[in-house]
């Protein structure tokens, strides 16, 4: 059988690519966090309205 080498991801090729990758990750993280906070506020307000 022929041996197959495994492909390894070594990360971004340059500092600019690393910075762009981190900026994209941070933007995704902040948008998910903001959406979650907004959802929780709407949920809690809705629960409060139905409790009154």
pTM of the model: 0.65
Answer yes or no: is 9 within a domain. Answer: no
User: Whole-angstrom Cα distance, residue 28 to residue 24?
Assistant: 6
Q: Are 18 and 12 contacting, i.e. CB atoms less than 8 angstroms apart?
A: yes
**């993280």: which residue's tokens?**
29
Q: Are 34 and 43 contacting, i.e. CB atoms less than 8 angstroms apart?
A: no
Handedness of CA 19, 20, 22, 23 (dihedral sign): positive
Number of domains in the chain: 1
Q: What is the mean pLDDT of the chain?
A: 87
Answer yes or no: is 48 within a domain. Answer: yes
Answer yes or no: is 3 within a domain. Answer: no
Range(s) of the domain holding residue 41: 15-52
Asked if residue 1 has pLDDT above 60, the reply is: no
Q: pLDDT tens digits for 2-52?
A: 567 676 776 667 888 889 989 999 999 999 999 999 999 999 999 999 987
């Amino acid at each position: 059988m022929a041996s197959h080498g495994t492909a390894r991801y070594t990360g971004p090729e340059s500092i600019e690519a690393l910075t762009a990758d981190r900026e994209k990750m941070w933007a995704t993280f902040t948008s998910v966090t903001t959406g979650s906070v907004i959802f929780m506020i709407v949920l809690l307000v809705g629960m409060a309205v139905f409790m009154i």
